[in-house]
Amino acid sequence: MGALPNAARIGFTGTPIIMGDRKRTLEIFGDYLDRYTLAESEADGSTVQILYEGRTTDAAVRGASRMDEVFYRWFAELSDEQRATLQQKYATTAAVLEAPELIAAKARDILRHYIATVMPDGFKGMIVATSRQACLRYHEALRDTRDELVGEIDRRREELLGPAGRSADAEESFLRAAAPQVELIRALEFAPVISGDHNDPPDYAPWTDKARQSAHIDRFRLPLGTAGERRSPLALLIVKSMLLTGFDVPQAQVLYLDRLIQQAELLQAVARVNRTAPKKSYGLTVDYYGVSSQLTEALAVYAGADGQLDPDAEEALRPLTAEIDRLEPQRQRVRQLFVQHGVEPALTTEAVEACVHLLADERLRAAFDVALRSLLRTFDTVLPRPEALGFVDDVSLFGEIQVRTRRRYRDTPDGDFDPRKYNEKVRRLIDEHVVALDLSRRIPPLRVTDPTFGDHIAGIVSHRARASEMEHAARHHIREHLDEDPAHYGKLSERIDEILDRLEERWEQIALELEGLIVEINAGRRDDGGTGLDPATELPFHSQMAEKVAGSGPDTAEQVVTLTRGLVAEVRRIIGVVGFWENPTRQDDLRKAIKRTLDDSDLFTYDSLDELAVELVALAKANQHRL
C-alpha cells in the first residue's frame, strides 16, 4: 500500500480478511463490487442449507458456575454426592469436556442421532472435539456404545422386528427403526484424525500417522455401506482442528460440535456439511458445547455499520425449529388442494378413492406432487424428533394417496410409487403404512394383457374406481404401443374418449363398455380390412400411407396394398444388417430409399414425401422385433 498508494485493490474472499474489524476491511478494499450470498448459493443448488440443532445449549460451559447444569443434565441418574465427586475430579472446562463419563454420555447420544437421522440416507458426519485426548476418548466411547446397541438389538431381534404398538416410547421406536439396519450398525467405524507431536504417547500414533490418515480420509469419501467394492462403513471422523477448512466430502451431512469455535473457523467448519449430494437437502450442525453465542459473534463480523446482521449472514445457520414451524403450513397446503374441490382427505377407502379420482386432473396432480414433496422434505428433516409425530398420520395418508394415484394413472415407468423421490426415513414410513393396508405389492400394477386383470377388476367394489382403473390401464397400454401402429391405437384412444363422453358419469355402464374394449385390445389387430396384408407387420405401414394418399381412383386402394407389400419387403432387407439401429448413416439411407419408393408410386404429393418417409422409418424402428 505504501509503494503503490494509487493502485486498485481487489479482494476475493468468503470471510472478511481482518476478522472482527470489518470496517477496516472495507477501508482497505472499498465497497463490494459484487456479492454471491449464501442464500443465492442455496437457490442455485450450489450448496444446501445448514440447519442448527442445540442438544446441550443449556450446558454451555463458561466456568465453574455452569458446571452444575452440565453434570445435572448428563448425570441425572446419579446422586448429588456422586455428581459432587465428579465435579471435584473435573474442575476445569477443558477437564469437563474431556471427562470420559461425559464423552461416553454424548457419544451415546451422537450415535443414536446419527443412526436415526443421518445414516438412513447413507450420509456421514464429523465430530469436533475439544482436544486430541477427547478425540481418542470419543473413538473408544462410540465403539463401546455401538457394541452395546448391537447387543441389545440382537437380544430382542424377533420382538423389534415384529408389529409395533401405538404406545411405543422414543427409545423403543428408535430400536425398532434401527433393527433392520443392524448389520450396517454392527460394521460402523469411527476414526480420529489428529495432528502429531514429538512427545505424544504411543496410543496417538495410529491416528497421527500421515499415511493412515490419508487412508481414513479416502475411505470416508466412499459411499456408506458394509465393507466391499467402492463402499466403506467409516461413518464418523473425529477431529479437533484438522479438516475443518478446505475439506470437501459431499456425503458429509452432519457436524457434531463439542468445543469452542469462534469467528472464521466456526463459519468454515459448518460449511463442511453444505456440499450438495443426491438426496441431500440440508446439512446439519448439532451443538453439544453451546456455540450459539459464538456463532452470533462470528456472524457479527458481517454486521453493517449500524450493527445489524447482514441478511446473508443470518442465513448461515437456520435453527431446526424453523423447519418444525413449516410443517403445519405445508400440511394445510396439501390438504387444501382436496378441500377446495369438495373432497376431505381421510383414512377411509371411500375418501382415498375420492382423492385419487380428483387427481385425474394432470395439473392438480402436478400441484399435489409439488406440495407433497415440500411437506415430505421438511418432515424428513424433522424426523425422528417428537415434533414430527403429530404429522405421521397425515404424511402416511398423503403417501398412500400418491401411491394409489401413481398406480392408477401410471405416472412412473411401472406405475408404482417412486422411492427415489424421497429419502429413506419417509419412504420407509410410507411403505410400512401401505404394507399394513395390503396395498403395496412388490409387483407393478396389472396390465390389461395380464391373465389376472379381470379378477383384479372384479375385486374393486366401487363402479367409479373400477371404470377408472380400466380406463387408465387401457390408456397405458395404448401409450406403450402407439408407435407400433399409430392409426390403430389412435382409434382405440378415441373409442375410450367417446365412451366417457357419451356415458358421462354412469360409472357402471362405462365399466361394462370398457370391459368389452379391453377384450378387443387383448385380441389384437386381426382384421386386415380385406387387404390381405399381415395385420402385425404390413397393416401399420398401409394405414400410415393410406391417410396421406393424394386423390383417389378406381385402382388407388389396390396400388396402396401393392406398394405396402413391396415397401415392407424392402425395409426388411435394409434393416436386416447387424447393428442397423445404432448406425445413423444407414438409417438415413433407409429414409432416402423409402422416399424414392413413395415418389415412384405417384400416390403422394411431393411436399408430403419427407414427412411420410420419416414417419415410416420411425414405424420400422418401433416394429423391428416383428420385421
For 233-288, how does the pLDDT look when each residue is reduced to its tens digit (9 = 90+)? Answer: 999 999 999 998 888 899 999 999 888 776 667 778 888 899 999 888 899 988 88
Q: How far apart are CA 249 and CA 277, in angstroms?
A: 9
Q: How far apart are CA 276 and CA 42, in angstroms?
A: 10
Q: Residue 393: its pLDDT value, please?
A: 84
Cell (9 digits) for 278: 443426491
- Tell which wins on pLDDT, 252 or 350: 252
Q: What is the pLDDT of residues 285-311, one digit of tens each?
A: 888 876 555 555 555 554 444 444 454
Q: What is the dihedral of CA 140, 143, 148, 151, to 10 degrees?
A: -150
Which range, of 16-25, 42-51, 277-286, averages the lowest pLDDT? 16-25
Q: Residue 357: its pLDDT value, please?
A: 86
Q: Residue 168: its pLDDT value, please?
A: 60
Who's near 575: CB < 8 A, 6+ residues apart? 581, 590, 620, 624, 627
76 secondary structure, DSSP code: T
Rounded to two decimals, the pTM is 0.65
Helix then strand count (H, E) for the chain reads: 28, 7
Q: What is the pLDDT of residues 117-148, one digit of tens each?
A: 999 989 999 999 999 999 999 999 999 999 99
Is the C-alpha dihedral spanning 287, 290, 292, 296 positive or negative? negative
Q: What is the dihedral of CA 159, 165, 167, 172, to 10 degrees?
A: 30
SS3 content of the chain, % helix, strand, coil (to 5): 60, 5, 35
Highest mean pLDDT of the ranges 58-72, 206-220, 488-502:
206-220
Q: How far apart are CA 21 and CA 125, in angstroms?
A: 33
3-class secondary-structure state, position 415: coil
Q: What is the pLDDT of residues 398-451, one digit of tens each?
A: 888 888 887 777 665 444 445 455 666 666 666 655 544 433 333 345 555 666
